[in-house]
Structures are given as C-alpha cells and as structure tokens.
C-alpha cells in the first residue's frame, strides 16, 4: 500500500466538527453563566470575609479557560474553512504539505513543522 498523495480529510474534518461541538457546549453551558454564577452550596450568614475574593479569583480562572476554548474554536473554524476552500493541509507560510501525521496530532495546525518551529521561536523572543 502506497501513501496517498492527497490524504483523506474526512476523518479529520469529523474530528474537528466533534471537537467544535464539545467546545460550543462547554462555552454555552459550563461558562455560559459567568456573570450570574452561584456557588453550589448555599452560604450561611457566617460566610468567610474572603469569600468574595476567592470567588472572584475563581471567575478569573473560568474566564481564562473560556477564552482558551474560544481560541481553539477559532482555530477549528479556520481549519474547517480551509477544508472547504481546498487549502487544508498546506502550510500557510511556505505552502508545503503539513503532513498527515502532524494533522492527526493537531488537526488545526496551519504550519509545517519547520515554519511552526520558526514561528514559536519568533513568538518566544518577543
Ligand atoms: Zn511551512
């Protein structure tokens, strides 16, 4: 069996769609009530004075998680758009093939390994 020149995007597209659904559910469910979030237990009148501070810290963490999910969602949307445009699997910088194994590991990768390494190197130097 020889490696196909143009790999099958179907399974990857399906994985992207599934992950997209998960993220949307998480964002709209788990993170959907950030502003009006209530603690799971009803707090008595003797609640700790630092309760507000710790709840605030918790909300900050939840917001950060929601933002991370939003970022991932954008990357997934971009990958699905590239699939639709027939450009999926090509590096956005050099145009070379990203490689099927790399896409299986990271279905919304936009760069080949060498361009990604150079990109991260530039980002880390900021
Ligand atoms: Zn490249």
pLDDT of residue 15: 94
The string of pLDDT tens digits covering residues 4-16 is: 446 788 999 999 9
Euclidean distance between CA atoms 63 and 58, whole angstroms: 9
User: Could you tell me the distance, in angstroms and rounded to a whole number, from the CA of residue 51 to the centre of ligand 1?
Assistant: 50
Nearest CA-CA partner of 101 in 1, 3, 2 = 3
Looking at residue 4, its pLDDT comes to 43
Cβ-Cβ contacts under 8 Å for 52 (sequence gap 6 or more): none
Distance 122 CA to ligand 1 centre (A): 14
pLDDT in tens, 25-77: 988 886 555 545 555 555 555 656 677 888 888 888 888 888 889 999 999 99
In the reported structure, the alpha carbon of residue 93 is separated from the centroid of ligand 1 by a whole-number distance in angstroms of 5
- 31: tokens are 């993170």
Rounded to two decimals, what is the model's pTM?
0.68
Does residue 105 register a pLDDT over 60?
A: yes
């Amino acid at each position: 069996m020889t490696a196909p020149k143009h790999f099958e995007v179907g399974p990857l597209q399906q994985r992207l769609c599934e992950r997209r659904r998960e993220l949307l559910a998480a964002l709209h469910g788990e993170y959907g009530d950030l502003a009006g979030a209530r603690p799971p237990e009803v707090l008595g009148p003797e609640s700790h004075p630092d309760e507000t501070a710790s709840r605030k810290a918790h909300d900050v963490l939840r917001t950060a998680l929601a933002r991370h999910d939003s970022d991932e969602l954008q990357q997934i949307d971009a990958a699905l758009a590239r699939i639709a445009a027939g450009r999926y699997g090509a590096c956005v910088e050099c145009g070379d093939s990203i490689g099927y194994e790399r896409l299986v590991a990271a279905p919304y990768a936009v760069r080949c390994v060498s361009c990604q390494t150079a990109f991260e190197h530039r980002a880390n130097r900021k």
